[in-house]
Amino acid sequence: MSHELSLHQRRREPTPQELRNISWLNVLQPHERARAEAALLVGDALPGDYICRIGRPVTYWFGLVEGLLKIHSDNAHGQTVTFTGVPPGGWVGEGTVVKREPYRYNIQALRKSVVAGLPIDTFHWLLDHSLNFNRFVLDQLNERLGQFIAARESDRMNSPEVRVARSLAAFFNPVLYPGMAQVLRITQQELAYLVGLSRQRVNEALANLQEQGAIRIEYGGLRVLDLAALRNAQFLSHAAAAEGLAASA
């Protein structure tokens, strides 16, 4: 595979296995599914490849078959603001595609990834003809709104532990990422990129979460033991602090 070729130039038809990994195809009627499968394309993204860029016209609704993506933008001071990460099985940007507006964010591959794209015209055809697809997109929009509200709240918190916990919990949303199991394959450096903290602070936060029984760090990733604790990390953090004060009293 040549680095000289853009991701757009590396498009190809999906394999049967890659199609099986696209969960929303299962909600379609046979003729709708046939039309969607005929239009779907995938690209083999290299680390650092941009799937889309701010200001570019919308062309596809994007999903991740394999790998890891991040959605981010740059603020007025030139700093990168990361909105969320996208694990395998996730589809993003439906709001932009519905409105046919230019992208207001970047989507970038953090590691070698297989990215699927449904052309915008096929997306709108499904909206016009499939009630089940409409319900799926509405669920996506609703869950995405909740996710970004939670992310905004986490960004205002000073505790690295809470920010890391909330970011991890976001990966296990069963609506947005139905293929996720208990194990998240992610490096500490990748997680640092997504959370916006140094690798050292992420490492310390993970160690604390493991000590509190919320996760277990494993080779190549981590296993979630208590998802509710991650989602309510501010309470978990306060409890740990209280135990520390009691022990020192």
Q: What is the pLDDT of residues 30-73, one digit of tens each?
A: 999 999 999 999 999 999 999 999 999 999 999 999 999 999 88
pLDDT recorded at residue 153: 62
- The confidence band for 76, taking pLDDT boundaries of 50, 70 and 90, is low
pLDDT recorded at residue 237: 47
Q: Which amino acid is at 198?
A: S
Q: Could you give the 3-state DSSP secondary structure of residue 189?
A: helix
pLDDT recorded at residue 83: 83
Rounded CA separation 177/247 (Å) = 40
Paired strand residues for 113:
45
Q: Where are the domains of the chain?
A: 7-156, 158-249
Rounded CA separation 74/54 (Å) = 9
Q: What is the pLDDT of residues 115-128, one digit of tens each?
A: 999 999 999 999 99
Rounded CA separation 52/186 (Å) = 22
CATH of 158-249 among 3.20.20.80, 1.10.10.10, 3.40.50.2000, 3.40.50.920: 1.10.10.10
Question: pTM value?
Answer: 0.82
Domain 7-156 class, CATH top level = mainly beta
How far from 159 is each of 17, 163, 224, CA to CA, in Å? Answer: 41, 6, 20
- The confidence band for 197, taking pLDDT boundaries of 50, 70 and 90, is confident
- Residue identified by tokens 């069963």 is 174
Paired strand residues for 162:
none
Rounded CA separation 121/207 (Å) = 47
pLDDT recorded at residue 241: 43
